[in-house]
């Protein structure tokens, strides 16, 4: 009986690995733009020669794709990618979400695979922010597509004259706000110089992009603003530092001003499988920190003279929430 149960468990894990195989196949296809090359029926030889790919390895990738349903074969043996892969996993597609695969396969999974050594040696690794700044900025643009509508509603309702986006990335939020509300004075803060340059290129002269860290910007900012956006940033700060961070943000705001926080939240109603995995990734690094809980955010907001107005799920599967606060004192 024990051998039967052992084999049953092994078969379950083998079945589970099929899901990973699908992710791996899509990642390779996105990285090498193979779904684009096979957007029409083409022979393996043609694509291998055109792209200078190893033919045997390309054949193995195609065999996997045929088995899991990413690819299909004609009667003459030519290969074509399924429409959804061309649409969502081709680098050239405007609807591509392939960068999520890249972040998972090149950033998250390698870290998780180091876990045995990290546990055994009581070590943590350094998160190389510059190496993955563009990847993180690109994945943030996907989140923006979901969250821009509620952000624009907040802007319309509260009519801020000035907005600051701390950690603005490529400036996606600012660009959409600028298009809809062209009279609002906009400031974006981005620590990576290459990402900041792309944000400047995307916006006109009415939006200022500051290439610096958010704490330095806050210290030097001499005015007051009506709205601040703090999206996917709290895990760069240790939990014991966040109460002071809330106070610093509140210090540059007018009374009645609005703050929006967007990020995964630990212990919330939705998406806790993802947040558990995300927290595991964060804890493996010396310079990243656990996700905040709603209880922590409520406690820190109260200390900073901020009142939580709304808590809304944005992406339930990932535990991403939009938390809106107002400065009351």
Distance CA 247, CA 299 (A): 12
| CATH number assigned to the domain with residue range 2-90, chosen from the 4 options 3.30.565.10, 1.10.1030.10, 3.60.20.40, 1.10.10.10 | 1.10.10.10
**pLDDT attached to residue 131:** 77
Low pLDDT (below 70) residues in the chain: 1
pTM: 0.86
Distance CA 189, CA 212 (A): 6
| CATH number assigned to the domain with residue range 129-327, chosen from the 4 options 3.40.350.10, 3.40.50.150, 3.40.50.10490, 3.30.230.10 | 3.40.50.150
Q: How far is CA 321 from CA 23, 27, 104, 254, 317, in A?
A: 25, 27, 21, 24, 11
**pLDDT attached to residue 6:** 80
**pLDDT attached to residue 247:** 96
**pLDDT attached to residue 202:** 87
- Rg (C-alpha) for the chain, rounded Å, is 23
**pLDDT attached to residue 38:** 97
Cβ count within 10 A of residue 245: 21
DSSP run (H or E) holding 16: helix 2-31
* H helical segments located in 95-213: 98-103, 109-113, 115-121, 129-158, 172-180, 193-202
**pLDDT attached to residue 318:** 85
User: Which regions of the chain carry the CATH code 3.40.50.150?
Assistant: 129-327
**pLDDT attached to residue 141:** 80
Assigned token pair, 21? 């195989």
User: Which regions of the chain carry the CATH code 1.10.10.10?
Assistant: 2-90
**pLDDT attached to residue 312:** 93
């Amino acid at each position: 009986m024990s051998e039967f149960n052992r084999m049953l468990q092994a078969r379950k894990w083998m079945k589970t690995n099929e899901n990973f195989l699908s992710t791996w196949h899509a990642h390779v296809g996105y990285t090498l733009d193979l779904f684009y090359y096979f957007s029409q029926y083409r022979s393996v030889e043609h694509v291998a020669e055109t792209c200078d790919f190893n033919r045997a390895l390309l054949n193995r990738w195609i065999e996997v794709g045929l088995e899991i349903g990413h690819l299909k074969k004609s009667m003459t043996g030519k290969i074509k990618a399924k429409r959804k892969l061309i649409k969502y996993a081709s680098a050239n597609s405007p609807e591509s979400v392939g960068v999520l695969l890249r972040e998972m396969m090149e950033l998250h999974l390698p870290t998780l695979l180091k876990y045995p050594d990290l546990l055994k040696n009581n070590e943590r690794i350094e998160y190389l922010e510059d190496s993955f700044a563009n990847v993180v900025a690109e994945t943030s643009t996907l989140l923006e597509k979901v969250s821009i509508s509620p952000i624009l509603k907040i802007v319309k309702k509260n009519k801020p004259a000035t907005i600051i986006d701390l950690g603005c990335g490529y400036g996606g939020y600012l660009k959409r706000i600028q298009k809809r509300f062209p009279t609002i004075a906009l400031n974006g803060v981005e620590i990576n110089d290459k990402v900041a340059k792309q944000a400047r290129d995307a916006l006109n002269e009415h939006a200022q992009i500051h290439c610096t860290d958010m704490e330095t910007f806050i210290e030097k900012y001499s005015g007051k603003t009506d709205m601040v956006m703090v999206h996917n940033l709290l895990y760069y700060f240790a939990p014991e530092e966040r109460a002071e961070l809330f106070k610093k943000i509140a210090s540059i705001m007018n009374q009645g001003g609005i703050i929006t926080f967007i990020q995964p939240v630990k212990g919330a109603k939705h998406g806790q499988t993802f947040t558990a995995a995300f927290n595991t990734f964060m804890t493996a690094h010396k310079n990243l920190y656990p996700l905040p809980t709603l209880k922590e955010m409520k406690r820190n907001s109260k200390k900073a003279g901020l009142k939580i107005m709304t808590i809304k799920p944005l992406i339930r599967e990932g535990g991403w929430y939009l938390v809106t606060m107002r400065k009351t004192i």
